[in-house]
């Protein structure tokens, strides 16, 4: 898949992580039903690979589906076998090279200018600023865009609706959103409330479109 184009077009990555696999798959399918195109299932969730496999079967071959918290080469290989077509990492680890060898685009986690420079030769599709809130929020992103105006940045971590607006205004290509969007849905919480939050975040990113 063309992850760069997808991030620029959809501007939102939903991050699903839960302790209830049945609720997690229900969460993925609900998000997709609400029109969220980019969904990442974190490998730190319970039975995450099974959730990815079942989501891929339900969504079909053409809907983007990512694996998050990819730390190692084996993580990347397992994610690809499960049906993920992009991977997300918290940092610059061994999972990146393995994913690229498998033909999977990578949203790679970075925090500092040094890490941004280190990511360039790795062939990553875009850069996940993580943890974004602790790094300095939208002001930090705006500062990074000075020396790195052409990088595709995706802030992740503590991104609620207000922060999403601010990051997009500061030049983020997209935002990655976990608990402010997912809430307790992946642990068995309300699907109706999840739908409301999904619609709210879609409105935010649509309003923030250039």
CA 17 to chain centre: 11
Quick check: is 128 catalytic? yes
Quick check: is 46 catalytic? no
Token pair for residue 36? Answer: 């969220």
Residue 109: closest CA among 119, 123, 122, 97: 119
Q: Are 34 and 53 in contact (CB under 8 A)?
A: no
Spatial distance between the Cα atoms of 96 and 170, rounded to a whole number of angstroms = 27
> Of 37, 40, 57, 74, which residue is the catalytic one?
40
Token pair for residue 196? Answer: 């409301």
> Of 34, 46, 128, 142, which residue is the catalytic one?
128
Active site positions, annotated: 40, 128
């Amino acid at each position: 898949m063309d992850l760069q184009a997808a991030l620029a077009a959809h501007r939102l990555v939903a991050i699903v992580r839960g302790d209830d696999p049945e609720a997690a798959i229900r969460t993925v399918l609900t998000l997709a039903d609400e029109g969220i195109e980019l969904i990442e299932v974190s490998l730190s969730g319970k039975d995450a690979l099974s959730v990815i496999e079942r989501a891929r079967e339900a969504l079909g071959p053409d809907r983007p589906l990512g694996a998050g918290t990819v730390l190692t080469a084996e993580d990347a290989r397992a994610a690809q076998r499960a049906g993920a077509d992009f991977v997300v990492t918290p940092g610059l680890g061994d999972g990146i090279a393995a994913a690229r060898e498998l033909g999977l685009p990578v949203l790679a986690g970075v925090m500092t200018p040094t890490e941004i420079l280190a990511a360039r030769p790795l062939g990553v599709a875009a850069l996940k600023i993580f943890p974004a809130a602790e790094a300095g929020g939208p002001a930090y992103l705006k500062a990074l865009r000075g020396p790195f105006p052409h990088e595709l940045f995706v802030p992740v971590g503590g991104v609620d609706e207000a922060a999403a607006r601010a990051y997009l205004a500061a030049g983020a290509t997209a935002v990655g959103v976990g608990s402010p969007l997912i809430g307790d849905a992946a642990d068995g919480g309300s699907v109706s409330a999840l739908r409301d939050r999904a619609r709210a975040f879609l409105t935010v990113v649509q309003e923030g479109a250039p």
